[in-house]
Copies of this chain bind each other. A is one copy, B any other.
Amino acid sequence: MAVQRLSTDSLNLSGNAQLHQQLYVSLRQQLLSGHWPGGALLPSERQLAADLQLSRSTVQQALQQLVAEGYLAPQQGRGYMIVEALPDGFFAASSSAVLPTMPLPTQDYGLTAKASGYSGYLQPGTANVQQFPFRLWQQLLQRHANRPALCNMADPLGYPLLRQALTQYLRQSRQLVCDENTILITAGAQQALFIAARLVARSGQKVLMESPGYPRLKQALQLAELQTSFIPAESASGLDPSSLPINSQAKALFLTPSHHYPCGGIMSLSQRLTLLNWAKNEQYWLVEDDYDSEFQYRHRPMASLQGLAGGQGVMFVGSLSKTLFPALRLGYLVLPPEIVGQASAIQQALHGDVPLLPQAVLADFINEGHFNRHLRKMRRLYQQQKQQAVALLQQHFPACSLLAKDAGLHLTLLLPALTDDITLCQQLNRHGFKLQPFSRYCFLNEPDRGLVIGIADADESKLVQLISLLKDALLKVDTGLRP
């Protein structure tokens, strides 16, 4: 059988890449298109170089790459043969269509996709980043940014100086029972919650959380494939320990005892003690999400469950997103000593090390007093903003309950039962607001309706605009509650 010799007319060299790369891409395109049959021979190197006005070595480089990749086989003295072994008909006309466009199934955990990265007015979960001492932070970054030691492997629990600084802070401010060997630095509080979920339960096992409660905790539990039951939380005092189940076979209760999210209830000491007693009797882990206790305005935060329990039986989750800024993505998990190694192993399987540079910067920021100074300043500022927001909302919506007034960076405004709070939030979004519909926080029975409002950036003009938009929207809801 005569061997077909191919023409190079169809080769098209273009682009900014080096010439041998252009030739490689063009040859590969021809090969993948199927126009050059298996067994046919390419012109010799010399012929190709002459035809294409390229140097011999340029041609050689491109051909050797194609040999290495298995497209061509060198034939001594005859040139390069198109490899016959390629599966017949495998290539379509274009190199970008080897496989038919047939989406394979993926697993569905019922998770909600994040809509956008856009930050809107009065968004809950953010901090007032405009007030952050950037110049100082930049100086600290400069101090550490050229240290090769911070570019390599990290200690399994996180940067030691940060662990020391944080545990000292937590012992003082939260009466935690902890030291640098019982804290795991995490890449944010969400990761800490997921690690806690994996520690307490395997897929199919049961855990409890609050309703209303934190939607992103619910998502973490869904992703861990846990069965979740919901415990009602009252707006005044948070979770009611008398509603806790007996012999439920669940492994853990996740809760926000210092400041219920998003309703603002604060568990009293006797509730806390009842809860601890229940957890001891029922052999439950408690996962204490202490997401904003830095911003109590009326009194110091309540004693932590972790401290009351002497560090046993409680996993304590903390965040720096609200005290510093969300994109810092640092959090921590304080654990009984005997499970710290396990938590770190889970983090390594899930994620690997937490970046070291921000940890080193934060350690200095705390140790040099800037953290406490920033907290004091922000506590005053947020308190003013909260008082102003409460006053304005109460004045204009006297019939609506306003929750979480005394602490934290958010407010929850309850709206008439017929309000479609999801659509309302979408409408407000068109005006630059990014509030959250309260019904998304309710996981039991018929959800209540309302708005979860962030006050980190609440100035009067935004509040007045929000109130005006809300009035318009509520006029359209037939509830008799027209303001």
Say yes or no for A78: interface residue by CB 8 A criterion. no
B312 touches A329 (CB 8 A): no
Q: Tell me the residues in window 122-143 of chain A with beta carbons closer than 8 Å to chain B beta carbons.
A: 123, 126-127, 129-130, 132, 134-135, 137-138, 141-142
Q: Is there contact, CB below 8 Å, between B107 and A199?
A: yes
A96 within 8 A of B: yes
> A77 at the A/B interface (Cβ < 8 Å)?
no
Q: Are A200 and B107 in contact (CB under 8 A)?
A: yes
Known contacts A202-B225, A350-B223; A269 and B86 CB within 8 A of each other: yes
- Is the Cβ of B109 less than 8 Å from the Cβ of A346? yes
Please determine whether B355 and A151 come into contact, CB atoms closer than 8 angstroms.
Answer: no
Given contact pairs A111-B348, A114-B345, A98 touches B200 in the complex (Cβ within 8 A) = no
A51 interface residue, CB < 8 Å from B? no
Cβ–Cβ contact B191 & A102, under 8 A: no
Please give, as numbers and ranges, the residues of chain B lying within 8 Å of A326 by CB-CB distance. Answer: 151-153, 353
B interface footprint on A94-118 (CB within 8 Å = 1, 0 otherwise): 1111111111101111011111111
Complex Cα gap A142–B285 (Å): 44
CA A321 – CA B329 in complex, angstroms? 19
Closest to A330 in B: B355
Q: Does A387 contact B (CB under 8 A)?
A: no
Q: Is the pair A113, B349 in contact by a Cβ cutoff of 8 Å?
A: no
| Distance in Å: Cβ of A432 to nearest Cβ of chain B | 14
**In-complex Cβ contact of A346 among B69, B87, B127, B223 (8 A):** B223
Contact yes or no, A99 B309, CB < 8 A? yes
A442: shortest Cβ distance to chain B, in Å?
19
Tell me if A262 is interfacial: C-beta within 8 Å of chain B: no
CB distance from A236 to the nearest CB of B (A): 13
Q: Is the CB of B349 within 8 A of A200?
A: no
Interface of A is mostly: loop
Enumerate chain B residues within 8 angstroms of A37, measured Cβ to Cβ.
none
**Chain B residues near A64 (CB-CB < 8 A):** 299
Q: Does A310 sit within 8 A of B, measured CB to CB?
A: yes
Copy total for this chain: 2
Q: Is the CB of B111 within 8 A of A349?
A: yes
Q: Which residue of B lies closest to A140 (CB)?
A: B145
Interface size counted on chain A using CB atoms at 8 A: 132
Judging by beta carbons under 8 Å apart, are B65 and A300 in contact?
A: yes
A298 close to B156 (CB less than 8 A):
no
Contact of A129 among B69, B152, B190, B309 (CB under 8 A): B152
Q: Which of A335-343, A416-424, A469-477 touches B?
A: A335-343
Known A112-B345, A129-B148, A339-B106: A70·B327 in contact at CB below 8 Å: no
A96 to B309, CA, bound (A): 7
CB-CB under 8 A from A155, the residues of chain B are 116-117
Cβ of A428 < 8 Å from any Cβ of B? no
Q: Are A86 and B190 in contact (CB under 8 A)?
A: no
Among A68, A114, A336, A342, max chain B CB count under 10 A is at A114
Provided the pairs A68-B302, A327-B355, A349-B223 are in contact, do residues A107 and B198 lie with their beta carbons within 8 angstroms? yes
Given contacts A338-B103, A355-B328, contact A223 B204 (CB under 8 A): no
A residues near B (Cβ < 8 Å) are 17, 21, 24, 28, 64-65, 68-71, 83, 85-87, 90, 94-104, 106-109, 111-119, 123, 126-127, 129-130, 132, 134-135, 137-138, 141-142, 145-146, 148, 150-156, 172, 175, 177, 187-188, 190-191, 194, 198-204, 216, 219-220, 222-223, 225, 268-274, 276-277, 279-280, 283-285, 298-300, 302-303, 307-313, 325-329, 336, 338-339, 341-342, 344-346, 348-358
